[in-house]
Amino acid sequence: MNGADLLLGAYIFVLAIFVGNEVISKVPTTLHTPLMSGANAIHGIIVVGAMLVATAVSGPVGIVLGFLGVVLGTINVVGGFVVTDRMLQMFKAKPRAAKPADKK
Amino acid sequence: MEQLQGLVPWVYLLAAVTFILGLKGLSGPTTAPLGNRVAAAGMLLAVIATFLESQVASAWLLIVPAIAIGAVIGFIGARQVPMTAMPQMVAIFNGAGGGAAALVSIQEYLRATGEGAVNAGEVVAIVLGLMIGAVSFSGSAVAFGKLQGLIDARAFRYSGQQLVTGGLFAGMILGALALIASAAGLVTVPTVLVLALVALLALAFGVALVMPIGGADMPVVISLLNAYTGLAVAMAGFSIGNQMLIIAGTLVGASGTLLTRLMSKAMNRSLGNVLFGAFGAATAASGARAEDGRTVRSISAEDAAIQLGYAQRVIIVPGYGLAVAQAQHGVRELADLLEQKGIEVRYAIHPVAGRMPGHMNVLLAEANVPYEKLFDMEQINDDFKRADVALVIGANDVTNPAARSDKSSPIYGMPILNVDQAQNIIVIKRSMKPGFAGIDNDLYLDPKTGMLFGDAKQAVSQVVAELKKAA
C-alpha cells in the first residue's frame, strides 16, 4: 500500500469508527450477547483477505500459512453467523417475550 | 473474466453496506434476525466475488478445500453447542478470526519483503495486525478454556505477574519497532526471525492478559477481544490494501469497544476494573463486616422443600450458578411441582444475571419456562415484600444489599433485586465463595436466609425429590 492509499485508508478508518459507534448506540441489554456474536461474524470478512494472500508466499511454508488462514477465517464467518442465528431464534421462539419487557 | 474482475471492488462496497445495515439491525429486537442474515448474505457475495481475482481463482485447489474444512468445523460447532456454552463458542470463533488476521499479516509481510523494499507505513499496519490478531487468538483460547472448565476459571494471580505481563508487552513492542525501523532503513535486523518472535510474544501476552481474569468476567473479556479482532482485521485491510476489510474491521472494533463498555457499565464497573481486577483490593474493607457475630445458617434439601411447600408465593432468582450447573430443566420441574400445589411461582431476572445479558432468558426459554413468568427487575422488585420464599439459585452480587446501603462497597449503586425483603430466603450456592465482585454478601448472614450448599443442579433435584416424597 502506497502513501496515498494509506491516507485514503485512514479516512475510511476514521469514518468507520463513527459509524460503528452510531449504529449500536441504543441497544437493549438482552441483545448484547447476540450483537457481540453478530459483530464477531462480521469480522470474519478476514476470510477474503486470507483468500487474497493465500498464495502470496511461495514454498511449503506459504501453503501452510495460506491454508490455515482461510480455514480459520471460514470458521469465524460460518460459525459466527450460524451461532448468532441460533441465538436469535431462541429469542423469537416465544413472541410474547417482548411484551412484558416493554411495559414498565 | 477480465471485465468481471473490475466488478469486485463494487461487490466489496455492497458487502460493506450490508455489514453496516446488519449491525444496525442487530441492535433492535425485531430487526436482529434479518440484520444477521443481511450481513451473512453480504459476506457470501464478497467471498464469491473474490474468486474472480486471478490469483484466487488459480489457487482454488488450495482455497476451496480450506473453505470446506472451515465451513464444516464452524457449522457443526455452532449447531452442536448447548445454549449454556454460547459465550465460549463465540470466543472460539473470535479467536479463529484473530488468528486469520495474524496469518494474513505474516503472509503480506513475507510477500512484501520478498519483493524488495517495504513501505514503513505498511509495516506499521502489518505488525499491528499481527500483534492484535495474535493476542486475540491466544486470549480467546484462554477464555474458552476457562469457560469450558479446561483451565481453572478462577483469577490466576502470582507474584511478579505485572512484571511478566509488562515484560512480554515491552518485548513485543520492541520487536515491532525493530521491524518498522528496518523497513525505514534505519537498522538491519533478521526480519523473519524478529517477526516470528513478535508473533510468539504476542501469543504469550494474550495468555498473560486473560489468565488473571475470573471466569465470571469472561463475557466482557470476549467482547473486548472481539473488538480487538475487528481492529486486527482493519489493520490487515490496510496492509493488503482492501477497503472492505478496513470498513468491516473498524466497524466491529468501534462497536465492540462501545458494547464492551456498555456491558461493564451494566455490571457497575469500569473496563479497567474488569481487566486489572481492582476488586481484590476492595475485598478487605467489605469483608471485615462479616465478623460481627452473625452466622450463616445452613439448611438441608428437606428443609428447603418444606419451606417451599408451605409457601404461597415463590420468586426464583436465577444467576450464573444456574447456567454453570445447567440447572434450568431442574428448576422448571421444581416450579411445575410447586404450581401443582397451587403455589404462585415467578422468576426475577436481573439485567446482568449470568454475566451475559439475556443469558437467563435464553436458558429458561430452552427449558420451556413460559415467558410471562419471567419478570424484569423493575417489574418485580416491589413484589419481594409479599413473597413467602425467594429462592436464589447461583446468583450473588445482584442480590447483595450492600449495593443499596454500603457506600464503601465496590458495587454500591448497582441496582439489585430486593431479595432481602422476602419473608424467607433460600440460597442455593456451591460455597460461601464470593461472586465476581469478590465481596461478601450480607444477605447470607440474614436470619431469614437458609443456605443450601451444593451444585445448583444437584441441589434443585434433591429439593424436587423431597417435594415428591412429601406429596
Residue in B25, B229, B81, B93 with CA at minimum distance from that of residue A35? B25
Enumerate the domain spans of chain A. Answer: 28-102
Question: Residue A40: exposed, middle, or buried by beta-carbon count in 10 A (0-12, 13-18, 19+)?
Answer: buried
Centroid of chain to Cα B274: 12
Chain B residues touching A32 at Cβ < 8 A: 223, 259, 262-263, 266, 356-358
Which is the catalytic residue, given B152, B336, B383, B397?
Answer: B397
DSSP, collapsed to helix, strand or coil, labels residue B421 as: helix
- Rounded average pLDDT over B198-204: 97
Specify the DSSP element, H or E, that contains B344.
strand B344-349
* pLDDT tens column, B1-44: 567 788 899 999 999 999 999 999 988 878 889 999 999 999 99
Residue B341 confidence (pLDDT) above 80: yes
* Distance in angstroms (rounded) separating the CA atoms of residues B233 and B213: 25
Would you call B55 an interface residue with chain A, using a CB distance cutoff of 8 Å?
Answer: yes
Contact in structure between B294 and B441 (CB atoms under 8 Å): no
Would you call B28 an interface residue with chain A, using a CB distance cutoff of 8 Å?
Answer: yes
Residue B269 confidence (pLDDT) above 80: no
Residue A82 C-alpha, separation from nearest chain B C-alpha, in angstroms: 6
Chain B residues touching A2 at Cβ < 8 A: 119
Chain A residues touching B243 at Cβ < 8 A: 8-9, 12
Residue in B67, B27, B29 with CA at minimum distance from that of residue B48? B67
The per-residue pLDDT of chain B, averaged, comes to: 86
DSSP, collapsed to helix, strand or coil, labels residue B425 as: strand
Confidence of residue A12 (pLDDT cuts 50, 70, 90): very high
The minimal CB distance from A40 to the residues B35, B93, B238 is found for B93
Chain A residues touching B378 at Cβ < 8 A: 104
Contact in structure between B322 and B328 (CB atoms under 8 Å): yes
Residues 15-34 of chain A with CB under 8 A from chain B are: 16-21, 23-34
Confidence of residue A48 (pLDDT cuts 50, 70, 90): very high
Q: Which residues are CB-neighbours of B97 under 8 A, at least 6 positions away?
A: A40, A43, A44, A46, A72, A73, A76, A80, B136, B229, B232, B233
Residue A72 C-alpha, separation from nearest chain B C-alpha, in angstroms: 5
Q: Which residues are CB-neighbours of B226 under 8 A, at least 6 positions away?
A: A36, A39, A40, A43, B90, B94, B252, B256, B260
The pLDDT score that the predictor gives to residue B6 is 86
Dig out the grid coordinates for B313 from the structure. 408465593
To the query of whether residue B397 is one of the catalytic residues in this protein, the response is yes
Question: Residue B30: exposed, middle, or buried by beta-carbon count in 10 A (0-12, 13-18, 19+)?
Answer: exposed
The pLDDT score that the predictor gives to residue B289 is 42
- Rounded average pLDDT over B214-235: 89
Other CB atoms within a 10 A radius of the CB of residue B294 amount to: 13
Chain A residues touching B101 at Cβ < 8 A: 46, 49
Residue located via cell numbers 474458552: B144
Q: Which residues are CB-neighbours of B84 under 8 A, at least 6 positions away?
A: B323, B324, B326, B363
* Interface confidence: ipTM more than 0.90: no
Give the CATH superfamily of B296-470: TPP-binding domain (3.40.50.1220)
Which of the two residues, B358 and B128, has the higher pLDDT score? B128
To the nearest 10 degrees (0 to 180), the angle between helices B8-26 and A3-23 is 20
Residue A98 confidence (pLDDT) above 50: no
* pLDDT tens column, B167-186: 999 999 999 999 999 998 88
Would you call B196 an interface residue with chain A, using a CB distance cutoff of 8 Å?
Answer: no
Residue A14 confidence (pLDDT) above 80: yes
Q: For residue B24, give Cα distances in angstroms to A19, A44, B118, B387.
A: 10, 17, 38, 41
Confidence of residue B401 (pLDDT cuts 50, 70, 90): confident
* pLDDT tens column, B437-451: 667 788 888 888 888
* Distance in angstroms (rounded) separating the CA atoms of residues B386 and B418: 11
Residue B106 confidence (pLDDT) above 90: yes
* Distance in angstroms (rounded) separating the CA atoms of residues B69 and B63: 10
Which of the two residues, B401 and B69, has the higher pLDDT score? B69
- Rounded average pLDDT over B244-265: 91
DSSP B363-419: HHHHTT--GGGEEEHHHHGGGGGG-SEEEEES--GGG-THHHH-TTSTTTT-----G
Would you call A60 an interface residue with chain B, using a CB distance cutoff of 8 Å?
Answer: no
Contact between chains at B250 and A77 (C-beta distance less than 8 A): no
Centroid of chain to Cα B292: 37
Enumerate the domain spans of chain B. Answer: 81-276, 296-470
